[in-house]
Amino acid sequence: MRLRGLVFALVALVALVAATSCDATAPDEATDARLRVKNGQFFRGGVPAEEGGGPRVKSVTVSPLVHPGQVGRTCAGELDAAATSVALTLEGDVGYWIVPAGLPSVLAAGSPTFTAELSFSSTLPAGRQMFVAHAVDGAGHFGAALAKPLDVTVTARPAGRFVISLKWENAADLDLHVTDPRGVEIWKRNINSYEPPPPDMPEAPNTPHPGGLLDVDSNASCVADGRHAENVVYADAPPSGHYTVRVDTSSLCGTPTSHWRVEGILGGVSLGAAEGLATELDTRFPHDRGAGVLALELDVP
């Protein structure tokens, strides 16, 4: 009898404690969301219905041009005085993000402000997306939506007569090295094949410099930029001869391996391609001129 009483008391206590835990928030990394907000709280599902008396979003500033995988885009705005937070989402996304309202701006003393750091999924489809913001008051009432169009542009291979591309799949820091027939190496510390004239032969201003150009050092120093690609582009006809392509693994940036692919395209026709796997072993070698594993050798007529 006494034992039964103890067990009954324990069960009753569990039920009582469980009943007091209804207002908690579910943890969610939201890696499947198209929009991600640093330090925001994610809520899965659609934004609750707007209410007539809900606070308004007075203004939102966000870059209208984005590309998939972009990180660290700043968004800021002002809210009605009654707002305590703002809900941010992309139209049709799997959920929305709550960002607490901050101090009013100097110019509008009665309007709380907010700032958020946005990132976009690498699978974000190209085209127009609607960025939507709702102000929320202290009672949880959602105000009217303020929508801003975002034009999503998918980064295509740069236009050029001869393009050598390196692509990989994750946040590793890989570097493309291309050595042209003259022996000039194009890489992140020598981003073009231009060789300056001797000191006694100054060239005229605005002299064109045909040759190869490295477009970007992607994920440099492990700062993820969502591109995962580097290209050496010859806008005009490249010098004829033998080209050597190397892939240097500067750092895996915490990833165990990185799968890469290089390809050389001349006038829209592939001259050759190669694939490989960067491992921790590849990071141990020097990362200077001439570094990297030999990935591809091309002969340009």
Partner 1 sequence: MHFRTGAAAFAAVALMNGVAQAQAQAQAQAQAQAQEPPPPPPPPQTSEIAELRARVDALETRVARTEAPRESRTSTALTVSGYVHVDWVALRQSSQNEVNPSTGEPLNENRFLIHRARLRLETDQGLLHGALVVDANTIRGLQVRPWNMEASIKWPPDIRYKAPAAVAQSSSKEAFVIVTAGLLMTPFGFDVPELENERPFLERTTMSSELVPQSYDLGLRVLGGYRIVNYAFAIVNGDPIGESTFPGRDPNKSKDLVFRVGTSSEIIDGLRFDAGFSGLNGRGFHKGNAPTKDQLVWRDQNEDGQVQQTELQVITGSPATPSQGFQRFALGADARVHLRLPKLGELTLRAEIVRAKNLDRGTFTADPIATTRDLRELGWYLGVTQELTRWGMIGVRYDTYDPDADARDQRAFGLVPKDSSLETWSFMGQVRWKTARLLAQYDHRSNALGRDVTGAPTTLEDDSFTLRAVVGF
Residues that bind partner 1 (CB under 8 A): 2-3, 6-7, 10, 13-14, 17-18, 21, 23-29, 31, 41, 43, 48, 63, 65-66, 73, 79, 81, 83-85, 87, 98-104, 112, 136-140, 142, 216, 254
Using CA atoms, how far apart are residues 120 and 35, in angstroms rounded to an integer? 5
Nearest distance in Å: CB 61, partner 1: 12
Q: How far is the CB of 202 from partner 1 (least distance, A)?
A: 24
Q: Which is nearer to partner 1, 84 or 244 (CB)?
A: 84
* Sequence letter at residue 117: E
Minimum CB distance to partner 1, residue 250 (Å):
18
Q: Other CB atoms closer than 10 Å to residue 157's CB: what's the count?
A: 14
Give dist(CA 299, CA 294) in Å, integer.
15
- Cβ 150 to partner 1, closest distance in Å? 11
Contacts of 190 (CB under 8 A, 6+ apart): 184, 289
Asked whether the beta carbons of 215 and 164 are under 8 A apart, the reply is no
Of 117 and 297, nearer to partner 1 (C-beta) is: 117
Nearer to partner 1, 196 or 254 (CB): 254
Least Å from the CB of residue 164 to partner 1: 19
Q: Residue 293 corresponds to which tokens in the numbers above? A: 């594993």
Q: Which helix (H) or strand (E) element contains residue 15?
A: helix 2-19
DSSP 3-state of 4: helix
CB of 80 to partner 1, least distance (A): 10
Side-chain half-sphere of 237: how many Cα atoms within 13 Å? 5
Q: For residue 43, what is the enclosing H or E element? A: strand 41-44
Q: Which is nearer to partner 1, 79 or 295 (CB)?
A: 79
Closer to partner 1 by CB, 99 or 296: give it: 99
The residue (of 80 and 297) whose beta carbon lies closer to partner 1 is: 80
Instruction: Give the amino acid at 219.
Output: N
